[in-house]
Amino acid sequence: MAKTYIEKSLFLQFFGDKPKFRIIDFLLENDLRDFTKTEIAKGAGLSWASLFSYWEDMEKKRIVKVARTVGRVKLYQLNAKSPLVMLLQNIEMTLIKEAADEEEEEQGMKIKVKARAKSR
């Protein structure tokens, strides 16, 4: 099942909780799947009208692409070949790595503090 918009991701914390970034964040988190526009709007926590107001620009900038068509329904995903999408993916991975490093450092400090307390 696709991850839906529940809380602010590292990506949204960095770029801001704006509709366009919610769309990109949802698609980054679910990059191996394709979705209808309605599914993207729901997953990003947006109304269909909000999605619609940003969609044309995202297609023009080749951020999203039609992955396949089923009958008359178009399914979309991030355009993995787009230099802009690649940059956004790299930024997301850097944010994740930094958060993991910070968490690891905090856990290491907690362990050291507990060890000192036990030795006294």
Q: Note the pLDDT tens digit of each residue in 12-38.
A: 999 999 999 999 999 999 988 999 999
Distance CA 83, CA 115 (A): 48
Residue 73 lies in a domain: yes
Total number of domains in the chain: 1
Residue 56 lies in a domain: yes
pTM over 0.95: no
Residue 1 lies in a domain: no
Distance CA 98, CA 45 (A): 26
Task: Assign residue 115 the CATH number of its domain.
Answer: 1.10.10.10
Residue 85 lies in a domain: yes
DSSP string, 56-72: HHHHHTTSEEEEEEETT
pLDDT in tens, 41-61: 999 999 999 999 999 999 999
Range of the domain at 115: 10-119
Q: What is the pLDDT of residue 107?
A: 77
pLDDT in tens, 82-113: 999 999 999 999 999 998 888 888 777 666 55
Residue 4 lies in a domain: no
